[in-house]
Amino acid sequence: MISAAENETLTRVGPGTPCGELMRRYWHPITGSSHLRSKKVVAIRLLGEDLVLYRDLRGQIGLVDHLCAHRRVDLSTGYPVENGLRCPYHGWTYNAQGRCIAQPGEPANSRLKDRVKLKSYPAQELGGLVFAYLGPEPAPLLPRWDYLVDDHLIRQAGFVVAPYNWLQGIENSYDATHAEWLHGHFFKYALDEQGDPADPRYQINVEPMMRHHEEFEYERVPYGLLRRVVLEGDQKDADTYNIGHAKMFPNITTINAGGTCISTYQVPIDDTHTLYLGHRAYRFPHWVSVPEQEEVPWFEIPTRDANGDWIRNDIVAQDIMVMTAQGPIMDRSQELLATTDIGVVKYRRLLKEQIELVRGDKDPINTYRDPAANQRLVLPHSRDFYDRGVSGKSSSYRRGSATGALGMQNSPINDLIEDLFEQAARGRPEFAK
């Protein structure tokens, strides 16, 4: 439990708020590159600020304030030109630095445009995502995590815009035991109630996910916290404990196992909305012929069925359900923390500490300024997590395991991913015997 005042400090992210200033020291993903390629101009809301992202005709991206300086038209209605974004109303044009570079209706000798500059922020693309930085200059480097930069991976990203405060999202990731209950027992309940074994979601074997968390720890590491878990029936030599899973401060968590890195970003849109972004990078053994990927898919993850009820037999929808069911901003002065909440407590401690660092105008953890140290940031990678035949442990791969029940109904490359996992399983030595 924390006080109501402390809850305000840890949850509010607008400009000038303590947590908002901390979050502004990091790059955040705001959309998918493929989405921007098809739309060209996209409305963005990040940390309570309304912005417009666009790609000009030379391929450069820009991120500027959303209102035209002239008559305050929302520039998400605009269109890209050679070197900027043009307002549809009277053609004023802005470049990526927010400078007004054209006012076609003004006299040729007018100097008015030289005085016009919109707020603008740096934006960069990596691993199929577009990232933005809203903090003080000079900006730190965009972290080059291995799953974003490595060759021969297949990537995709799904998203949900959800009505919960970002801290509820991230605290869910520091809550190890919810997995056995929400994604184990509750999941089994939902599947049994649905009772249709022909549903591809039955390919997810929920039994291993119901395994009890015998022990779990969150260890401080340079980029944040490392989660170590001993599941029922395992010892500390199991990968889940021995190698663990990385949680990168402030708002990225990974499950990196069996060749698949699932990284989840909880991006604060504003105080009461969060962009849940699930990025997946699939790495296959050398005997699999992985096609060159031209575009990283970007798609919405469904969380409700046709009746508007929660989808209960999908892991991402389950998470979105409980994070939303805590209300727009959970009142932490009324909660009752228990022994299983050790990760939540550790994360809050780290968050408070980093807010203080930024108040003292110091760089918080997990920020990078030396290009040599940011070539490729390597994360811990286990062989296995919940074995669904996906890992290298066995060749018992069941089609559907890699893509079922993981919020990927709208992914355009599910068949490709399943084909590659099947190839991987068929080529395993024990299968060849």
Residues forming the site for ligand FES (CB under 6 A) = 68, 70-71, 73, 87, 89-92
Q: What is the C-alpha to C-alpha distance for residues 132 and 134, in angstroms, rounded to an integer?
A: 7
Residue whose structure tokens are 């919960």:
164
- 293-332: contacts with Fe ion (CB under 5 A): 319
Least Å distance, CB 86 to ligand FES, is: 8
- Of 90 and 273, the one with the shorter C-beta distance to ligand FES is 90
The two structure tokens encoding residue 101: 């570079």
Least Å distance, CB 17 to Fe ion, is: 27
- Of 171 and 319, the one with the shorter C-beta distance to Fe ion is 319
Q: What is the C-alpha to C-alpha distance for residues 33 and 129, in angstroms, rounded to an integer?
A: 5
117 binds, among Fe ion, ligand FES, none (CB under 5 to 8 A by kind): none
Least Å distance, CB 105 to ligand FES, is: 8
- Of 87 and 420, the one with the shorter C-beta distance to ligand FES is 87
Largest CA distance in the chain: 81
| Interface with Fe ion, residue 270, by CB under 5 A | no
Q: Are strands 213-221 and 224-231 parallel, antiparallel or unpaired?
A: antiparallel
Least Å distance, CB 56 to ligand FES, is: 17
Q: What is the C-alpha to C-alpha distance for residues 174 and 69, in angstroms, rounded to an integer?
A: 43
Helix (H, G, I), strand (E, B) or coil at 251: coil
Q: What is the C-alpha to C-alpha distance for residues 299 and 410, in angstroms, rounded to an integer?
A: 6
- DSSP letter, residue 238: S
Closest CA to 293 of 29, 57, 28, 32: 32
68 binds, among Fe ion, ligand FES, none (CB under 5 to 8 A by kind): ligand FES
Report which residue type is found at 424.
A
- Of 87 and 132, the one with the shorter C-beta distance to ligand FES is 87
End-to-end CA distance of the chain: 57
346 binds, among ligand FES, Fe ion, none (CB under 5 to 8 A by kind): none
Least Å distance, CB 39 to ligand FES, is: 20
319 binds, among ligand FES, Fe ion, none (CB under 5 to 8 A by kind): Fe ion
87 binds, among Fe ion, ligand FES, none (CB under 5 to 8 A by kind): ligand FES
- Which spans of this chain sit near Fe ion (rule: CB under 5 A)? 319
